[in-house]
Structure formats: structure tokens, C-alpha cells
Structure 1
Amino acid sequence: MRGTTTSRPQSGEPPVVLDWVEATNPKDRVLMGTIARRRAPLGDHAIWHPRPKRTEKIDLLEEQSAIRVQELIPLRYARMSVSPFTFYRGTALIMASDLATTAVSGIPVQCVGDAHIANFGIFMSPTQHLVFDINDFDETLPGPWEWDVKRLVTSVEICSRDRGFDAATRRRAVQECIHSYHESMDMFAKMDNLDVWYANLDVEKTLQEYSKSGMPSKTLRKAVQKALSKDSNHAAQKFGQMVKGEPRFRSEPPELVPIDELTGYDLEGPLDVTIRTLFERYKNNLYADRRQVLDSYHRYHDAARKVVGVGSVGTRVWVMLLSGRDVNDALVLQIKEAEESVLERFVGHSRFATHGERVVQGQKVIQTTSDVLLGWTSMTTPEGLRKDYYVRQLWNGKGSIDLDHAGKEGIINTARMSAWALAHAHARTGDAIAISAYMDHGEIFDNAIVSFAKQYADQNELDYQVFMDAIKSGRLPCAK
């Protein structure tokens, strides 16, 4: 791909934007990867030293919170305060600002932007097959592939610490993760372009391979069972209820609040009108066949504000309840606010007109198979501020890995699969041959990333303590 990324900034200077022009000849692409390795030696990726003037990172959290729904900020901080791992999940902006000071090869891809291990999971493809892939794209933007790798591998170290694993197990987990990425990228570099594009991590086949090799797969099997039960009808049953013969969302504040209980939103007119307008604009951005599907769900019943995730808490997220043939044929859509990517201040602005389109177009090129109803929309507030959103089915066979209760093999297997999915995303959107050549055939790059992960996990614990002190002092509000 042709895109932008950043070089390693000099002391105190902002990152420099580079323009990467890919070669078409495989030999030239190998050469370009080798040249990039000379510019940013593999061992440099092991280095993490906080800059002497590293600003207090809590400022970045407050900066994000300032533009979000204020009544939800205490809940955001409460979810982040559970452990260093939940804190890490909510601090993609902090890590992006730190990664901008580290070595960069200069080879761009469509970055995930927040590629931690909890942002990978199971999906139902349009052909009704379960696949394992990336499941969060809010921060996606063209940028340095190393940033995604470092965020993923570091998350494996932090998650393993959170599970109480010993040092040897933690090291094995991060080694397996980066080895899987390296091995997968080498494989993609040898494949034809269409073969790379169509490759996928079929969950059933993966389970069969684990069984044959004797590797435990209890964690993945639980996720599969969960995914098979998650569709719009089940979402309507879980989050809805019948009121005078009509489906309505339950009231479970602050996590789920029907729109008729909300006041004070800065959008055009009543919330009911606003959400209907967002929906109509979203439909206009879809292909005709997708619009035809939506038109078959002609009955609108209700909408609500929903809280999702950890880092996303405070963004405006709406769920919309529709029905088709009858009330038992439900469609639950999620309309989620799309903010500026955490990468933008370091790698440049998105080329798309809205952040909703940035998220959707990024997801479509990164993910093996995307939701057929994925689209974007936007509105302008009375003050003239544009609010961007992307839309998808709330549940379409999504299954999350239960990292809180996963054993050693469960974490390691998830780390392997996540690394495969990340390498696949990078191979689809970047130069797999150049990236493979850059990493070379030895273990220097892998060992450097393992070293970085341990050092940055230590830094994350220090930042977490600063965060907890800010809560205790009253600087940051935190729900009880």
C-alpha cells in the first residue's frame, strides 16, 4: 500500500511523516525491508525509556473525557480502575503517545490502533461460519505496523500478570504471541495476493487442530458456545421486554437507559427524531442490497443509550430495536460515536470525510469478514459540531474470550490466534514481503519485542498507580 507513517522522532521533535512507495517486484520489496532494517535496527525495538519530559499521562485521559458524556465518566474510570489490565485497555492514547518516541521501520499498514488481546474474538461470517478475528476498530488508521504488534504483545504480558501467572509462563505467552505474528507474516509473504485476502482463521478447524495436537481448548470452546447464542433475537430478549404488547428496552441505568428517560443531549431535536435521522442517513450510505434487508425490518420500536467496553465508556452509543416479519424477528442495531483516532496526532489525519467512515472502511480492509450491515452516519449539533457514528448489528455471532477466567493455555492459545489475525490484517493492507524481510529469519526482533513488552508492562503499572492516586485525591471522579 502507499500510505503514511512516522519515523523515529529526534529528541523533543514531533514525529516526521514519511511517504512509503511500495515496490512491485518481490526482490525489490525484500530489499526495501532490508533497507528499513538498517534505518531502524531490530534491537532498537527492545528499548523503552520514558522521556525526561514525559508529560503526566492522566492529562490525556482528562482530555478524552472532556468531550464525552460527563455523567458516564465516573463509570469509565471505575472500569479502568479494576486492575492494571483494565487500565491498559482504556489508555490507547497514552501508549500511542509513547510509541511515537520509539523506533519505527517506516513500513505502513492499516493499523488497528488498539490491538490489545481483549479486542480479538469470534464472529459469524455471512456464510454462517465462525471465524476468529479483530473486533474493535475505533482507532484504525494507516500507521506503523510495529505499534500494533507492541500493543498486542504488551497486553499479553499485562493480562498474564493480571491472571497471576509466574514469570516463566508470562514469558512463554509473549514469546508465543510474537512468534505467531512473525511466522504468520512469513507465511503471508509467500502467498499469492488473493490467497492472502481470502485467508481466515476458521474456529472449528482451529479446535480440531488443537484436539489433534493435544493442546487444551476449553477457553475457546466456551467462547464458541457463547457466540452461537448471540444474535439479534437473543439481544432483544436480553435487553428488552414487552410493554403493552410492544417490545421496549429495559431500564438498567447507567448501562442501559431508554431514550425517553434521557434529557440534555446536544443533538437535533428529540432523541427519537435524532436516532431515526441517523438511521436514515446510515441507510443511504449502504449498498442497495443491504438497504433492501433493512427495509424488511420496517417496524421501529425503541432506542436506548448503552454503555460498552472500557475505553469507550462515555462515547455516545445508541441501540435501536426493529422488527421484521413479527416481533419475534428482531434486529438490534448499535449506533456508536466515532471520535478522532488516538493515532491521528502522531501519524496525520484520516483521508475520509468523517470518523464513522474511517472506522467502517478501515474495518472492511482489516477484518476477514465484516458485518453485512456495517455502515456510517453523522449529524450536526445546534452548536454546529458534527457527531460521527458507525452502525452495525449489536450481536451477530460475537463471542468474546473470557480472559478473566482463562488458564495458562487459554491465554497462550488466544495470544497465538490474535497474533495470526493481526498479521493477516497487516498483510492484507501493507507489504507483507517487506515486513517479513524487515523482521529477518532470526529471533532478534522477537526477543526485542518480548523485552519491550516487559518494560512497558512495568511502565503501565506505574501509570496505573498514578491513576489510582488521582482517583483517591478526588482529581478523577470514580463510580462506586
Structure 2
Amino acid sequence: MSEAAQDHLTPSANPPVDVTSWKRADSPRERSRAGIAARAKAPLESHAVWQVRSGRREAIALLEEQSAIRVPDLIPLRYKRMSASPFTFYRGTVLIMTNDLATTPVTGIPVQCVGDAHIGNFGIFRSPSARLVFDINDFDETATGPWEWDLKRLAVSVEICGRANKLKEKDIRNAVLQCTREYRERIKWFSEMDYLDAWYEHLDVEETLDRFETTGGGKRNGTLRQAAMKALLKDNDAAAAKLCRLKDGKLRFKSNPPELVPINELDSYADLDALQARLDTLFENYRHSLYEDRRWVFDHFRYQDAARKVVGVGSVGQRAWASVWIARDIDDPMMIQMKEATHSVLEHYCGASPYATHGERVVQGQKLIQSTADVLLGWTSFLAEDGKKRDYYVRQLWNGKGSIDIDNLNATALSDLARMCAWCLAHAHARTGDSIAIANYLGGSDEFDQAIASFAVSYAEQNDEDYAVFKKMIKKGQLPCA
């Protein structure tokens, strides 16, 4: 167990989930038989079952436990963002759902899980070959775990997203079924490919949208097309123009508290010179985590400024920094994000990470499950003012990143997006798990698809119940809200 995990890991009240005893057989036939045999442990229909429970104050207590190790001043903002809707609440409650999934039947077939594979954690980014690809884009919770937990997290998010967009019940169920069917068919497809061919597969955005429109009778998916166009414009130049200004010949961050606070405005740090020195150490440690060729690239940039940055919904309260660098001159900027990495929620239930730091856990997990990782992806640690060592992972802030407008999805867009997410999830699991066993566990019928669709309905109702408790506690002043 890593030192970081020992510091933060809280034992679960639920029994641990066994993901270490699975031994992958040598031959495809034996792996197929092992997958089918796993149905005895977790029958396909058993995945449909979830009993909705009301008034779960203990579920909200898990959120408070998480908040205890985050920046106290940002917790009211976190709860405010989570309180906006049942979907924003769901985005911030991966610990609650993982705790619930630990009570359900599991196949015992492990993969490198995303950990928080909801529909908002997939998106567009530019590959090193300058093509736009679609893939998973959030890895804070990645760790070894049961493959079906990722798929259930995704399917429920499709259900909740559809409800939030006021789609018809039949259209929502169709999107969830399309999602699970795509996963089932893709995992079988990957299991039959040569392993290296499967490893190098990826979703090219333009090709995928063209294919969807061809198979969908020529119907244009404007939501996904628009996201792709926006992604093309999100680069280092655009990030610097939006977040920085020129002062005394250097690029300096604009002030927009609490979302963006330049380093020289952080009143919570008594000694700003000492803070800058610790940041310098952070950058140097990060540099040593890079391969030699990436180090060569990083060394061409000169530091300009840093700021504390608030990111996401569920991530609010985790420490995050942004820094701006230049290469040739101020017209050649690069934006770097450093985000705190704590224990994965999966570690509560599936065992601690084998990596020395959680920053490395996130980075190595991302490289395993993402088709094309950022060339400047690395990790580091930072000695905080209180003397505690905090782990971070580091990446470019904007490198063609594009998110989908999930608040305005019609039935076609939701179904297409759900399928794309399922494709990426199957690819991640095929790269890191026993795809032959998973494919044979699922079989060729839609029995599993129907079970997951039923689970998605029940768990969406559970999310509504927990959200009601959450809102009630905010109203009573029992939880802080900005």
C-alpha cells in the first residue's frame, strides 16, 4: 500500500470486492469458459436489481468525509455546483455509488477501471498527429476494479442525463440500451482482434460522426459537430488569451476569485516566496517524471506565472493550480494544469494502489486506458504549508479539449454520445482486462442490456432520493453552500 493511500484510505463498512484472484487462462477457449462460468457468481439478470431507499443521511455523510480532506473554503462552492440538478449531484457522488455497487453481485473480472465513467467525463481532444479523437478525459478515480462498475456508472448517467433534458421515457431507455449494446458488441469485436491492433484502435471524431449520420439515415448530429468545432479552437493560444494578461513584459493570470486566483493574491499563504519555491520544486519533480524526449520539449519553455484554479463539479475542493509558460516569446505560450490526486474511491473497496504516489496512479492509469495521452502528462508531489506532502498529476490545460453540451441533448444526440462513450469504455477494458472472458460472460443476446437498463432506472430514482436529502440538508444549514 502506498504511503498516500495509508494516509487517506478509510475502511469501508462493506466487505472488500475481490479483484485479485482472477487468473487469466492461456488459451482463448479457456478464457471463454471462464467468462461463461462467471455467470454462476453474478447471473446476467442479477445486474437489474437495485432497491431504492429513502432518507439516506448516511450517504451524504460519505460526501462530508470526502470534503474533510479538501480546501475548506471551497466546500460551499462544491456543494453549490452539486445542488444545481440531480445530474450535477450525480457527478459529485461517485463515492456514494461505488459504496452501493460494492453491495451488488460482481463478476470478479478485473480491468483498469475509469472509476467515474459518467457521460460528462468523455470528450474530444487533439492527438499528437493533430487529429481530433473522442475518448475518456477524467482519470482521478482510475484503479483496478470490476469492469461492470464502469458500465453501470455510464448507463445510469445516460438515464439521468436523458431525464434532465426532458426526453421521452422510451427515448431514454433506447439510449441506455444502445449504450450497453455498443459496449457488448465492441468488447466482442476487440476480443477477436490481434491485441496490438486492438490497442491502437481509437475513435476519430470526424469519421465517427460521418458513420453515425450514414447509419442514422443522414441525420446530422449538430451537438457533437459543434463540440468538435469548438475543440479545434481550444489551444494554448486561446487559453492564454482568456486567462492571462500582459504585465511588465510577462504573461500574468487575470484575477477571477474563487475560480482563478493568481499566486500573489493568495491571502491564505503567509509566505508567498516560500509558496513559489515549493511550486518550483513541484515543476522540477514533474520534469523528472517525463520521458527524455518530453523533457526536451518542456525545457524549451520558461515560467511566467501560476494561479489556483477551481475545476469541475465533484472535483471542487481538490487543490489545483494552473501555470503559464512561453517558448519563443509571449506569442508562443503553453498552459499547464497541476491537479491534486488523492486516493481513488475504488481503493476503499478493491484494495490500495501499488504506485508510490496517487499522481503516478492517475498518470499510469490514464496511459493504460486512453487511446492517445497528452505528451506532457506527468506527476509530481508538493510539500504544503502545513508540512503534508500532496500528490499531483500534470497535463496541458487546453490541447484541443472539447466537452459536449450535455444540457441540450436531443434523443439522437444522447444515443450517439452514449454509443461513443460505450465504445471508448469497451476499448479501455479490452486494453487492460480479459476481453474474451468479458465478451463470453455477456453473450450474444440482449439479456444483460435489458438488466442494465432496468438498473439505470432504479438507480436514477435512488439518485433523486439522495439529492432530495442533500438539498434538504443545505436548506436547513446542515451543509455549507455558497
The aligned counterpart of 1:239 is 243
Separation (CA, whole Å) in 1 of partners of 2:55 and 2:437: 34
Cα deviation, residue 131, structure 1: 0.7
> What SS does the aligned partner of 1:56 have?
helix
Among 127, 133, 143, the residue aligned to 1:131? 133
> What SS does the aligned partner of 2:140 have?
coil
Cα deviation, residue 379, structure 1: 2.3
Cα deviation, residue 211, structure 1: 3.3
CA deviations on 1:251-274 (whole Å, 9 max, x unpaired) are 001111101110335999632222
Contact 1:318/1:336 (<8 A) preserved: yes
The letter for the 2-side match of 1:370 is A
Mean Cα deviation higher: 221-230 or 45-54: 45-54
Among 383, 403, 408, the residue aligned to 1:405? 408
Cα deviation, residue 428, structure 1: 0.4
Among 342, 350, 357, the residue aligned to 1:354? 357
Cα deviation, residue 276, structure 1: 1.5
The aligned counterpart of 1:200 is 202
CA deviations on 1:279-338 (whole Å, 9 max, x unpaired) are 1100011111111101101x2111001111101001110000100000010010000000
Contact 1:268/1:381 (<8 A) preserved: no
Q: How many residues align?
A: 468
Separation (CA, whole Å) in 1 of partners of 2:18 and 2:271: 38
CA deviations on 1:206-226 (whole Å, 9 max, x unpaired) are 122133231321111111111
Q: Quick one: structure 1 residues 197 and 267, their matched pair in 2 at CA, closer, same or farther if it must change by over 3 Å?
A: farther
Matched, 1:293 2:291: no
Q: Quick one: structure 1 residues 206 and 249, their matched pair in 2 at CA, closer, same or farther if it must change by over 3 Å?
A: same
> Within 5 A, what are the aligned runs for 1:76-475?
76-213=78-215, 214-265=218-269, 270-297=274-301, 299-381=302-384, 383-475=386-478
The letter for the 1-side match of 2:231 is A
Contact 1:176/1:416 (<8 A) preserved: yes
Separation (CA, whole Å) in 2 of partners of 1:60 and 1:267: 34
Separation (CA, whole Å) in 2 of partners of 1:17 and 1:267: 46
Q: Quick one: structure 1 residues 279 and 307, their matched pair in 2 at CA, closer, same or farther if it must change by over 3 Å?
A: same
Separation (CA, whole Å) in 2 of partners of 1:377 and 1:210: 41
The aligned counterpart of 2:26 is 24
Cα deviation, residue 444, structure 1: 1.1
Separation (CA, whole Å) in 1 of partners of 2:458 and 2:447: 17
The letter for the 2-side match of 1:259 is I
Separation (CA, whole Å) in 2 of partners of 1:383 and 1:235: 32
Contact 1:216/1:410 (<8 A) preserved: no
Cα deviation, residue 420, structure 1: 0.3
Separation (CA, whole Å) in 1 of partners of 2:234 and 2:271: 31
Q: Quick one: structure 1 residues 55 and 119, their matched pair in 2 at CA, closer, same or farther if it must change by over 3 Å?
A: same
Separation (CA, whole Å) in 2 of partners of 1:382 and 1:247: 26
Cα deviation, residue 233, structure 1: 1.2
Contact 1:268/1:382 (<8 A) preserved: no
Cα deviation, residue 15, structure 1: 3.8
CA deviations on 1:376-430 (whole Å, 9 max, x unpaired) are 0002345542200000000011110111122221111110100000000000000
CA deviations on 1:41-99 (whole Å, 9 max, x unpaired) are 11110011258997611111111111111111111011101100000000000000000
Q: Quick one: structure 1 residues 160 and 235, their matched pair in 2 at CA, closer, same or farther if it must change by over 3 Å?
A: same
The aligned counterpart of 1:5 is none
The letter for the 1-side match of 2:447 is I
Mean Cα deviation higher: 13-22 or 137-146: 13-22
Question: Alpha carbon RMSD of aligned pairs, Å?
Answer: 1.7
Separation (CA, whole Å) in 2 of partners of 1:21 and 1:206: 35
> Within 5 A, what are the aligned runs for 1:61-80?
61-80=63-82
Separation (CA, whole Å) in 2 of partners of 1:143 and 1:238: 39
Q: Quick one: structure 1 residues 346 and 269, their matched pair in 2 at CA, closer, same or farther if it must change by over 3 Å?
A: farther
Cα deviation, residue 17, structure 1: 5.4
> What SS does the aligned partner of 1:241 have?
strand
| Structure 1 unmatched ranges of 5 or more | 1-10
Contact 1:141/1:358 (<8 A) preserved: yes
Contact 1:37/1:438 (<8 A) preserved: yes
> What SS does the aligned partner of 2:237 have?
helix
The letter for the 2-side match of 1:138 is D
Q: Quick one: structure 1 residues 435 and 413, their matched pair in 2 at CA, closer, same or farther if it must change by over 3 Å?
A: same
Mean Cα deviation higher: 244-253 or 210-219: 210-219
Q: Quick one: structure 1 residues 382 and 242, their matched pair in 2 at CA, closer, same or farther if it must change by over 3 Å?
A: closer
Separation (CA, whole Å) in 2 of partners of 1:382 and 1:83: 36
Separation (CA, whole Å) in 2 of partners of 1:353 and 1:269: 29
Contact 1:267/1:380 (<8 A) preserved: no
Cα deviation, residue 12, structure 1: 6.3
Q: Quick one: structure 1 residues 42 and 377, their matched pair in 2 at CA, closer, same or farther if it must change by over 3 Å?
A: same
Contact 2:155/2:456 (<8 A) preserved: yes
The letter for the 2-side match of 1:86 is T
> What SS does the aligned partner of 1:97 have?
helix
The aligned counterpart of 1:4 is none
Separation (CA, whole Å) in 1 of partners of 2:428 and 2:120: 16
Contact 1:216/1:409 (<8 A) preserved: no
> What SS does the aligned partner of 2:203 have?
coil
CA deviations on 1:8-63 (whole Å, 9 max, x unpaired) are xxx96454554111012000000000111112111110011258997611111111
The aligned counterpart of 1:6 is none
Contact 1:267/1:274 (<8 A) preserved: no
Contact 2:14/2:102 (<8 A) preserved: no
Normalized against structure 1, the TM-score is what?
0.95
Separation (CA, whole Å) in 1 of partners of 2:463 and 2:149: 16
CA deviations on 1:151-209 (whole Å, 9 max, x unpaired) are 00000000000001111111111111111111111111111100110001111111221
